[in-house]
Structures are given as structure tokens and as C-alpha cells.
């Protein structure tokens, strides 16, 4: 993924501010799971602390992807394949992105319309990679 250095720096700084809010991950998961009964059903009974660690790691990989780090795209491809086992509907990825950006807006005191666009560019590119990998993967139930 190619992003200008200014936009990449803006994303890194916004992510740091948003994730410094101790409520960040809880707010995100409450918002995401409240987005639809189907989303809530997929995540019902899951270990939330484990999911929070995975989300933190996934966001880190997306930051590595915008910096051109080797292997970041392979990890996002892997995430897409893994998520097919969870039977994640394509629309859930869009709800995930919307919930994440809304949470960043709530938790980053400097969030702006410009940062909304940056988050959607960075995280949206990662989500597209995950969705593409999921679409290509054979479905194997958990």
C-alpha cells in the first residue's frame, strides 16, 4: 500500500492517541458487536481478551503495511483465510471498518474529517486484502 509520508505519519499519530485511551478496544467491540445481530452471534462466547490482543496485532500489521514492511501483506492474506472458518459475511468487514473509525473518532481527541479519510484509506486497504483472501479461500468450518 502506498501512502504519502504525511498521511502515514498522521495515521500513526492518530492510532497512538486513540489506542492510548484505555477504553479504545472495549468501545470498539461494543460498537462492532452492536452493529448487527449477525455480528453479535459470530462473536458470542469468544474470549474477548484474546480478540483484543488480535485486534491490536492486526492494527500493528496494517501500520507495517503502509510502511512497506515485508510480510505484512502475507499476514493480512492469512487473516482473510482464517476468517473464512468463522463464516464472516463480507458486509461484516465493512461494519468492522465503520466501527473502528467511529471508535477512533471517539478516542482520538484530535480526530478530524481528514483523519477519517486517512483511517479509511489505511485500514480500508487492509480490510480489502483480508476480504479478497477470504473470498479466494475454501470454506472450512471451525
* pLDDT tens profile 27-63: 999 999 999 999 999 888 999 999 999 999 888 888 8
Give me the pLDDT at residue 137, please: 65
Confidence of residue 142 (pLDDT cuts 50, 70, 90): very low
Helix 5-20 vs helix 48-66: angle between axes, to the nearest 10 degrees? Answer: 160
Name which of 17, 9, 55 is nearest 33 in CA terms. Answer: 55
* pLDDT tens profile 103-136: 999 999 999 999 999 999 989 888 888 888 777 7
Give me the pLDDT at residue 2, please: 61
CA distances from 79 to 40, 46, 64, 83, 99 (A): 20, 17, 15, 6, 19
The answer to the question of residue 141 being in a domain is: no
- The number of distinct structural domains making up the chain is 1
Write out the residue range of the structural domain in which residue 52 sits: 5-136
CA torsion sign, 63 to 65 to 67 to 70? Answer: positive
CATH number of 35's domain = 1.10.490.10
Q: Could you tell me the pTM of the whole model?
A: 0.87
Q: Which residue has the higher pLDDT, 103 or 82?
A: 103
**In angstroms, rounded to a whole number, what is the distance separating the alpha carbons of residues 91 and 19?**
25
The answer to the question of residue 21 being in a domain is: yes
**In angstroms, rounded to a whole number, what is the distance separating the alpha carbons of residues 42 and 53?**
18
Q: Which residue has the higher pLDDT, 141 or 100?
A: 100
The answer to the question of residue 123 being in a domain is: yes
**In angstroms, rounded to a whole number, what is the distance separating the alpha carbons of residues 22 and 76?**
26
**In angstroms, rounded to a whole number, what is the distance separating the alpha carbons of residues 16 and 67?**
16
The answer to the question of residue 42 being in a domain is: yes
Amino acid at each position: 500500500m502506498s501512502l504519502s509520508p504525511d498521511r502515514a505519519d498522521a495515521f500513526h499519530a492518530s492510532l497512538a492517541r486513540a489506542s492510548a485511551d484505555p477504553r479504545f478496544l472495549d468501545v470498539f467491540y461494543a460498537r462492532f458487536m452492536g452493529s448487527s445481530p449477525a455480528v453479535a452471534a459470530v462473536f458470542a462466547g469468544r474470549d474477548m481478551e484474546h480478540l483484543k490482543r488480535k485486534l491490536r496485532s492486526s492494527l500493528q500489521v496494517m501500520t507495517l503495511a503502509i510502511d512497506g514492511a515485508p510480510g505484512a501483506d502475507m499476514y493480512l492474506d492469512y487473516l482473510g483465510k482464517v476468517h473464512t472458518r468463522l463464516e464472516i459475511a463480507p458486509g461484516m468487514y465493512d461494519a468492522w471498518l465503520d466501527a473502528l473509525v467511529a471508535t477512533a473518532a471517539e478516542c482520538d481527541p484530535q480526530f478530524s474529517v481528514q483523519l477519517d479519510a486517512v483511517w479509511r484509506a489505511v485500514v480500508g486497504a487492509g480490510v480489502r486484502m483480508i476480504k479478497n483472501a477470504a473470498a479466494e479461500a475454501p470454506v472450512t468450518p471451525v
